[in-house]
Amino acid sequence: MRRLADELGTSTAAIYHHFPTKAALFTVILGALADELQRPELPDAPRDRLIAIVCYLVDTLDQLPWVADILVTGQSFGRSAMWMLNEFVDAATDLGATDRKAGYMYFTVWRFVVGELMSRRAARTHHGTEPAQPYWSDLITTDQLTDFPTVARLLPQWSDIRAEFHTETAVADVIDGLVASITRNR
């Protein structure tokens, strides 16, 4: 807030007068940014619409590296971004979810989104260092895993498994599990 005040040529007290918390300031900023975003064309099929909304959310928010720290608190929202929640709930109810279940589904994927944003940011930081810092799987040896034979068996494949991760596929897997739970919980 101090840096912002310096850049604006005002006092931090003046900023805090209008925005009592950083979250309040970032909510306004996120709202302004959301107002500028173009809504994507969404597929007609409800399942595909859910996947498209979540992938759009991840890709859009990933362009704002500072946003994950704010979003994880759950204190900010943007009215102009509410269309995503609305579309998500409509698609989920089209698939048979109650409003409550659709809200739970959104909350579940929201946690995935925040985790994906944090993971992407960490990967950029991790790979941006010289020399590149190794992952845990590059540091541990099978000797250290004698009590964990399944992990020891998996370890030689771990970097390939990590490289095969694709957000859209993971989102589809999460959505498919949530959609399957609609009919299981009836």
| pTM confidence score | 0.78
| Tokens matching residue 164 | 């095969």
Q: Indicate the helix (H) or strand (E) that contains 117.
A: helix 99-127
The per-residue pLDDT for range 123-158, each reduced to its tens digit, is 877 666 556 677 888 889 888 999 999 999 999 999
The pLDDT of residue 64 is above 80: no
| C-alpha dihedral (76, 79, 83, 89), degrees to nearest 10 | 60
Higher pLDDT among residues 3 and 51, named by residue? 51
Q: Kindly list the domain boundaries of the chain, sorted by start residue.
A: 2-184
Superfamily of domain 2-184 in the CATH hierarchy: Tetracycline Repressor, domain 2 (1.10.357.10)
Q: Cα separation of 9 and 115, whole Å?
A: 36
Please report the pLDDT score of residue 186 as a whole number: 62
